[in-house]
Structure 1
């Protein structure tokens, strides 16, 4: 049992590190583990769960406030570029290559290649990296994509600067690379639509 206990400790610590919790006191955590196993814990599991939930909520709000502030400042500066157009919703874009023909509508299914980054340039997703374009109904994506792709024509390539309100806002995938309230940048090539 000693090696299994040690292995569980490694996995638990790795999980904490992956969540950015390097400042956790291992002595207090070991005491909590020991006390719970001995049925002498100073709080119930429900109380512990509530405390941990409040801690993570505060960390999320702290990270979100920073991302929101940085994103807003970025978008204000970006809007000053002569080649950037800003829509009524706040979506910003630059056509890199003009396409031809009609524009898709919100009910269209589009086929695109794209690269998504945070405002610091960190890539979080790319169909180019996967080596194949992706198809999806335009009404089933973030608002910034639904609006933005309707401004494109097949064969066109556009760079979108999407405010958090038109992206994932306060609720991105908790285990994903996008922080709450982050503005996103997408370079999108509209291959076709139907």
Structure 2
């Protein structure tokens, strides 16, 4: 798969985690507490500005799910290898309320994630 174009939902930022399967995979399923190998792009909901992308680095990223933001911990399990999923993550499931020291705190974030392996 190529780097995705991020499509924005209509209306104001959601107050809960929004999970949308863009492509349903047919491989093994990501599990709570497992490790995932992903390609992803992250953009700010309000500005559309990209803040991170494994595609730009030219290599996928491997993470234990427990080490990731809560929106990923909740939004990736159940996804199957070969799939592409969009997560719209409110601040409390991302980097917390504004003023907590991270430049992304207080922001709703959109991620498009390709699950390459578990």
TM-score (norm 1): 0.51
2:40 is aligned with 1:114: yes
Q: What is the Cα deviation at residue 153 of structure 1?
A: 0.5
- For 2:91 and 2:51, locate their aligned partners in 1 and report how far apart those are by CA, in whole Å: 15
Higher helix fraction (1 or 2): 1
Q: Distance in 2 between matches of 1:192 and 1:166?
A: 23
Unaligned runs of 5+ in 2: 1-10
- The one-character-per-residue Cα deviations of 1:13-49 (angstroms, maximum 9, x if unpaired) are xxxxxxxxxxxxxxxxxxxxxxxxxxxxxxxxxxxxx
Counterpart of 2:117 in structure 1 is: 192
Matched, 1:138 2:72: no
- TM-score of the aligned structures, taking structure 2 as reference length: 0.82
Offset, 1:172:
4.9
Deviation at 1:169, TM superposition (A): 1.0
1:107 Cα shift?
A: 1.6
Residues 18-167 of structure 1: matches in 2 within 5 Å?
A: 73-75=12-14, 90-119=16-45, 120-167=47-94
How far did residue 101 of structure 1 move? 3.6
**2:116 aligned counterpart, secondary structure:** strand
Pairwise CA distance, 1:74: 2.2
Distance 1:183-1:172 versus aligned 2 partners, 3 A rule: farther
Runs ≥4 residues deviating over 2 A: 170-173
Cα root mean square deviation, aligned: 1.7
Residue matched to 2:5: none
Q: Give 1:102 deviation, angstroms.
A: 3.6
Instruction: Kindly name which structure, 1 or 2, has the bigger radius of gyration based on alpha carbons.
Output: 1
1:138, distance to aligned residue in structure 2 (A): 0.5
